[in-house]
Amino acid sequence: MSLDAQKQDLKIGIVGAGAMGRGIAQVSVTGGMQVAIFDAADGAAKAAQEFVTSMINRSVEKGRMDRAEADAAISRLTAASSLKDLSDCDLVVEAIVENIAIKQSVFQDLESIVRRDTIITSNTSSIRISSIASVCKHRGRIAGLHFFNPVPLMKLVEVINGTDTTPDVTAALEVIGKRMGRVPVVVKDAPGFLVNLGGRAYTTEALRIVSEGVATPAEVDAIMRDSCGFRMGPFELLDLTGIDVNFPVSQIIYNGYFHDKRLSTYPLHESMMEAGRLGRKTKAGFYDYDEDGTIIRPEIDVPLTATPARRVVLAEPSGALDGLLRDLGVSVVAKDDGVSPILADPVGEDCTALAIRLNLDAKRLVAIDTHTGVYSRATVMTAPGADEGTVLAVMAMLKEVSGGVTRIKDNPGFVAQRIRAMIANLGCEMAQIGIASPEDIDKGMKLGLNYPLGSVELAENMGNRNCLRILEQLQTITGEERYRPSQWLRRRALLNLPIHTPD
């Protein structure tokens, strides 16, 4: 007998009265459902009830909810004195400590208390749902219902199918998630689920770039914010979540996928944790923070006093560079005069590879990343031994139209190409192995991590073939398996199909 998720008197039980449990209770009662919250700690459930009441009252004060609606929501929440008080619940959400033995014990207790058609879910962010369900008698009704903190503000909820979760349970949880005002995405039971898995590429590739000496954390962050539209750079994000949190999660996911190099982090990540530079919480991470927790940003934009370049040579034909140079009033020399800067906008190549392939004077070669634009922030790259005067003249030229110019060391894929391609590749691989539908993957990354684009649609935004080329160049130049293209991306790029085309 399946649960009617639409019924008006639907009752939800919540086990765990911490930040997540309180948040789930709040969105449940404001969604019109009855809630009983329980916590093993004395007084915790009652304190949670009072906290939720205060938050709903605050919504009234801010004009987000009327008084009658608020009073009705507050009346729907009760504090349970024991697990047995959850016996009449239609759905139970467990939101306790991330310890599998404790969770399994709670699930066994719940099975002996609730009705046969009651759905039992876990808000776990890291433990397999199938592992929790393995001790239960009726595994078909066990699933994951993973919310994001703070729950009232984060609209996403992952509905996670365990190995034995039945389709009617999944469908019911999607309906209940919507009644809570959340956007549900259906996810396969796998390490990191959707959002925690999909978020690995942004930070781990940035760690690689900094570790290779290509750019500093502040430079990488500026490029990803200004040129790519991310709300936070990867190092700001690492500091905010806490390195003692994101490093262990990265290792859990890497080990869970049997050391797929596309998911590996870098020794710098562990070194920061071992040094106790955990981020904002310790006022020291990749950045330093003042007493009130405000980030202290190093200056990355140096004054450019060189005379801007007015004559350049193009290494290869480039529509993007042609348009930029027209805007700047810069002349393109038809034949290399041996003096003028040589400009290029490579896809996935570094300056060294480009100079060798085209037999160019590497000292005068300056690469400009045009693929995310140059007007908010321009990125330039040179080979070792570049002529300093030439580079500064090109940077001064770009500064005439750009909000900032960042110079990085020679590197296949610049910074933005490389990080964006890795995000897109991971999104495509998640689609390939069925973590979720491509559309839900995109939805999850935008709502769960505030990405400007979903990780699958990012490939199409870059151009599927461009994205594939960047990865192939990275793999060829570095020799690393880390840059192995997903077959989902490869096939759609080669066949010139939209990235969301199903198999």
Return the active site residues. 125, 146, 158, 196
Provide φ and ψ at 407, rounded to 5°.
Answer: -100, 125
Is-contact 161 188, C-beta < 8 A?
yes
Between the alpha carbon of residue 129 and those of residues 23, 99, 175, the distances in Å are 21, 12, 20
Separation in Å, CA 31 to CA 35, 46, 175, 454? 11, 20, 12, 27
Distance, in Å, from the CA atom of 418 to the CA atom of 140, rounded to the nearest integer, reads 42
**Of 478, 475, 477, nearest in space to 486 by CA:** 475
Closest C-alpha to 44, from 72, 77, 21: 21
Query: Side-chain half-sphere of 28: how many Cα atoms within 13 Å?
Result: 33
Torsion of CA 129, 134, 139, 142, to 10 degrees: -30
Say if CB 205 and CB 451 are below 8 A apart: no
State whether residue 211 is helix, strand or coil: helix
φ, ψ of residue 412 in degrees (nearest 5): -65, 120
- Residue 52: in which H helix or E strand, if any? helix 44-61
Tell me if 304 sits within 8 A of 399, measured CB to CB. Answer: yes
